[in-house]
Amino acid sequence: MIKRFTFNKFIVYLLLTIAAVISLLPLYWVFSTSLQLSSYQDEDMERPVSYVNSTPPKMYPVGITEYFEHWRKARNAEKEGDSEQAAYHREIMDEIVTDTFSGFRRLFTQNSMGAWFFNSVYISVVVTIGILLFDSMAGYVLAKKKFPGRDVIFWLIISTMMIPGQVTLVPMFIMVRELGLMDTHWALIFPDLSMVFGVFLMRQFMFSIPDELIEAAKIDGASEWKTYWKVVLPLARPGLAALGIFTFMNVWNSFLWPIIVLNTAELYTLPVGLKTLQDANLADFKLLMSGAAIAAIPMIIIFIIFQRHFVKGLTLGGVKE
Amino acid sequence: MEVSRGKNTSEWLKRTGKSIRKNYAAYLFLLPKLIFFTLFVAIPVVWAFVLSFQEYRVTESNTWIWLENYKEVFASAAFRQALLNTTIYTAVTVPFNVITALIAATLIHSLGRMAQNFFRAAFYLPTVTSMVIIAMVWRWMYNYEFGLFNYVIGWFGLEPVNWLGQTSTALWAIIMMQMLIPFGVGIILYMAAMSSISDTLYEAATIDGANAFQKWIRITIPMLTPTTIYLTLLSTIGSFQVFTQIILMTGGGPGYATETLVHLIYKTGFRDFEFGLAAAQSVVLFFIILVISVLQYRALNRNN
Structure confidence at residue B95 (pLDDT): 96
CA-based nearest residue in chain B for residue A31: B137
B36/A193 Cβ within 8 A: yes
B 144-163 residues with CB below 8 A of A? 145-148, 151, 154
Percentage of chain B exceeding pLDDT 90: 58
- Residue-wise burial string across B185-212, b where 16 or more C-beta atoms lie within 10 A, e elsewhere: bbbbbbbbbbeeeeeebbeebeeeebeb
B110/A275 Cβ within 8 A: no
| Residue A2 confidence class, pLDDT cut points 50, 70, 90 | very low
Q: A199: which residues sit within 8 A by CB, 6+ positions away?
A: A135, A138, A139, A142, A154, A157, A158, B33
DSSP structure string for A95-142: HHHHHHTHHHHHHHHTS-HHHHHHHHHHHHHHHHHHHHHHHHHHHHHH
- Asked if pLDDT for residue B20 goes beyond 90, the answer is no
Q: Which amino acid is at A308?
A: R
Which whole number is the average pLDDT over A285-310?
91
- Asked if pLDDT for residue B303 goes beyond 70, the answer is no
Structure confidence at residue A317 (pLDDT): 61
CA-based nearest residue in chain A for residue B24: A147
Structure confidence at residue A6 (pLDDT): 54
Which whole number is the average pLDDT over B265-287?
93
Give A120 to chain B, closest Cα distance, Å. 13
- B-interface mutation test, from A22, A58, A136, A167, most B Cβ less than 10 A away: A167
Distance CA B71, CA B277 (A): 10
A167/B45 Cβ within 8 A: yes
Nearest CB neighbour to B119, from listed A20, A193, A228: A20
pLDDT in tens, B37-51: 999 999 999 999 999
Q: Count of CB atoms within 10 A of residue A212's CB?
A: 8
Structure confidence at residue A46 (pLDDT): 63
- B-interface mutation test, from A10, A17, A23, most B Cβ less than 10 A away: A23
Structure confidence at residue B21 (pLDDT): 78
Pick the closest to residue B37 from A243, A203, A158 (CA basis): A158
Which whole number is the average pLDDT over A258-286?
93
- Asked if pLDDT for residue B295 goes beyond 70, the answer is yes
**Is A136 buried (19+), middle (13-18) or exposed (0-12) by CB count in 10 A?**
buried
- Asked if pLDDT for residue A43 goes beyond 70, the answer is no
Distances in Å between the Cα of B248 and the Cα atoms of A31, A100, A248, B85, B244 are 19, 26, 23, 17, 6
Give A77 to chain B, closest Cα distance, Å. 37
B182/A19 Cβ within 8 A: yes
- Asked if pLDDT for residue A201 goes beyond 80, the answer is yes
- B-interface mutation test, from A166, A255, A289, A306, most B Cβ less than 10 A away: A166
pLDDT in tens, B122-136: 999 998 899 999 999
- Asked if pLDDT for residue A49 goes beyond 80, the answer is no
A156/B32 Cβ within 8 A: no
pLDDT in tens, A275-290: 999 999 888 899 999 9
Inform me whether the C-beta atom of residue B119 falls under 8 Å from chain A C-beta atoms: yes
Which whole number is the average pLDDT over B237-257?
93
Structure confidence at residue B236 (pLDDT): 93
Can you say whether residue B160 is alpha, beta or left, with left for phi > 0 and alpha for psi between -120 and 50 degrees? Answer: beta
CA-based nearest residue in chain B for residue A54: B146
Cα Rg, chain B, nearest whole Å:
26
pLDDT in tens, A93-122: 888 898 889 999 999 999 999 999 999 999
Distance CA A36, CA A66 (A): 11
Cα Rg, chain A, nearest whole Å:
27
**Parallel, antiparallel, or unpaired: how do β-strands B63-64 and B54-55 relate?**
antiparallel
B121/A16 Cβ within 8 A: no
Nearest CB neighbour to B133, from listed A30, A146, A314: A30
Structure confidence at residue A264 (pLDDT): 92
Give the residue ranges of DSSP H helices in A145-236: 150-159, 169-178, 186-192, 197-206, 211-219, 224-226, 233-235
Structure confidence at residue B3 (pLDDT): 52
Give A26 to chain B, closest Cα distance, Å. 6
List, in sequence order, every beta strand (DSSP E) within chain B. 54-55, 63-64
H-helix or E-strand containing B240? helix B225-240
Distance CA A256, CA B263 (A): 10
Distance CA B88, CA B261 (A): 12
B107/A271 Cβ within 8 A: no
- Asked if pLDDT for residue B188 goes beyond 80, the answer is yes
Taking the alpha carbons at both ends of chain B, their separation in whole angstroms is 49
Distances in Å between the Cα of B280 and the Cα atoms of A202, B71, B76 are 34, 10, 12
Give yes or no for a contact between B165 and B249, defined as CB atoms under 8 angstroms apart.
no
Q: Which amino acid is at B160?
A: P
Give A308 to chain B, closest Cα distance, Å. 10
How many residue pairs bridge chain A and chain B with CB atoms within 8 Å of each other? 293
Which whole number is the average pLDDT over A114-137?
95
CA-based nearest residue in chain A for residue B34: A194
Can you say whether residue B157 is alpha, beta or left, with left for phi > 0 and alpha for psi between -120 and 50 degrees? Answer: left
Structure confidence at residue B190 (pLDDT): 93
- Asked if pLDDT for residue A156 goes beyond 60, the answer is yes
Who has greater pLDDT, A255 or B2? A255
SS3 B274: coil
SS3 B54: strand
pLDDT in tens, B103-115: 999 999 888 888 9
**Is A302 buried (19+), middle (13-18) or exposed (0-12) by CB count in 10 A?**
middle
- B-interface mutation test, from A170, A285, A289, A315, most B Cβ less than 10 A away: A170
Give yes or no for a contact between B277 and B168, defined as CB atoms under 8 angstroms apart.
no
Q: What is the DSSP letter of A209?
A: S
Q: What is the DSSP letter of A228?
A: I
Nearest CB neighbour to B41, from listed A196, A289, A314: A196
Which whole number is the average pLDDT over A161-168?
87
A224 chain-B contacts, CB cut-off 8 A: 25, 29
Distance CA A41, CA A171 (A): 55
Give yes or no for a contact between A96 and A37, defined as CB atoms under 8 angstroms apart.
yes
CA-based nearest residue in chain B for residue A53: B146
- Asked if pLDDT for residue A237 goes beyond 80, the answer is yes
- Asked if pLDDT for residue A319 goes beyond 50, the answer is no
| Residue B64 confidence class, pLDDT cut points 50, 70, 90 | confident
Inform me whether the C-beta atom of residue B110 falls under 8 Å from chain A C-beta atoms: yes
Structure confidence at residue A7 (pLDDT): 58
CA-based nearest residue in chain B for residue A254: B130
Q: Model-level pTM greater than 0.80?
A: yes
Give yes or no for a contact between B282 and B48, defined as CB atoms under 8 angstroms apart.
yes
Pick the closest to residue B240 from B87, B132, B61 (CA basis): B87
H-helix or E-strand containing B186? helix B184-195
A273 chain-B contacts, CB cut-off 8 A: none
